[in-house]
Structure 1
């Protein structure tokens, strides 16, 4: 799982916001963040992460910290399906979590903006023939996945398995490094590329990060707001038209399946389906 700032020496731990996400004024945060939009989008993968990965293959100690192992196991445990056909992981870091996700996916595409991280992830997933790792800055790489895959795997016959739609999208410890505009681009991409019945898992560190305006709190409030709106929106013009009442055209809402509000991180899971796990297994 990728990119949390626990190793940042100057981080102020007193800045933790332990209030609920609904108590945060996201609009105010957005306005404060707009001025940083271009600089964050252009530099986060080239300078911030380059410095962290300089002479260090595991800058957040994913392999040794119990905190990281616990968070990975909690994330895997709340996934509402035992197995997925086609998964994508945004911000894979050095691939420690990717290796675990690969066991739950028939095909997995992992993405990171840092050259060193991508090489490490490729090495870690080397024996997983159904897994691919590409380098690209989010959200821009999402808008040209076909080209990025072709460039990274020009001779692969199975590249189509790693293209949208995805029935699992994992976003971990990455969105607060983006501008609000880029976060909205990712949200729009999710709505367009998560398969019906698919799962979205988002997990972010709750503490402030020096040099970045967004936090896990504001990111997850933004996600809740976006998908709650999706949940409640009804296009009357299409619903009343006979062709759109046919089952093939019904577009299920995003259902908030799980939420973990840990002291240190936030974990939310949505499904592109109205059915809970118990409903899927005919328990209710």
Structure 2
């Protein structure tokens, strides 16, 4: 896994603040048929119908958060930018089991333990070093038998330190025995991939 020489560092919160200042829904999360279908595939891939505790890293406007919440007794959703987080709070105001926090993962990480951790469209924003830090903290926070759900756009983006494939292959390398993870399922679509792993 090699960093992009033009952008080897994790993208800072100011990057996302600028993106959301220019456009309230810069990736068309709320209106895109592609995103709608990807969210449906993401939720359908959950190995369990109910999780006592879950953690979503990079919740953005909360579109996926709202769908995940139906399967969670408690869901912590975080993002690095305040503007989309406020929109997510409004969207999920009717869901008392959802808690939102402004948080820059992996420099910041919640102390709780989780049965499900979702890393959707966020891992490629991290440098290789931060991806390793995130992996270590995610595995420490995932309960035995807990699930890690990865979903990422796969084509390279010049601004991003990594590709979606970099992120998934890095986590999949942890499934080689006696690694801490087991690969339960994976699928690749035209422009994104999805993998589900289980803490051994």
Could you tell me the TM-score, scaled by structure 2's length?
A: 0.93
Cα shift at 1:45: 1.8
Q: Say whether residues 1:206 and 2:173 are aligned partners.
A: no
1:232 aligned partner: 178
**What CA deviation, in whole Å up to 9, does each residue of 1:86-110 have, x standing for no partner?**
0000000010000111111000000
Flag the structure with larger Rg: 1
Q: Tell me: CA distance 1:84–1:61, structure 2 relative to 1, closer, same or farther (3 Å).
A: same
Q: Say whether residues 1:172 and 2:99 are aligned partners.
A: no
Cα distance in 2 for partners of 1:211, 1:89 equals 23
**What CA deviation, in whole Å up to 9, does each residue of 1:100-139 have, x standing for no partner?**
1111100000010011011111111111111111111111
Match of 1:137 among 90, 94, 104: 104
Question: How many positions carry a matched residue from both structures?
Answer: 200
Match of 1:193 among 141, 151, 154: 141
Q: Say whether residues 1:45 and 2:16 are aligned partners.
A: no
Match of 1:264 among 185, 191, 194: 191
Maintained 8 Å contact 1:93/1:112: yes
Maintained 8 Å contact 2:7/2:159: no
Maintained 8 Å contact 2:126/2:161: no
Match of 1:93 among 60, 74, 80: 60
Q: Say whether residues 1:64 and 2:12 are aligned partners.
A: no
RMSD over aligned CA atoms reads 1.7
Cα distance in 2 for partners of 1:134, 1:215 equals 26
- Structure 2 unmatched runs, 5+: none
**What CA deviation, in whole Å up to 9, does each residue of 1:145-173 have, x standing for no partner?**
2xxxxxxxxxxxxxxxxx52100000001
- Structure 1 unmatched runs, 5+: 1-25, 146-162, 234-252, 274-284
Maintained 8 Å contact 2:73/2:97: yes
Cα distance in 2 for partners of 1:120, 1:55 equals 15
- Higher helix proportion (structure 1 or 2): 1
Cα distance in 2 for partners of 1:182, 1:36 equals 13
**What CA deviation, in whole Å up to 9, does each residue of 1:69-90 have, x standing for no partner?**
1100101111100000000000
**What CA deviation, in whole Å up to 9, does each residue of 1:248-278 have, x standing for no partner?**
xxxxx422111011111010001124xxxxx
Could you tell me the TM-score, scaled by structure 1's length?
A: 0.67
Cα shift at 1:232: 2.1
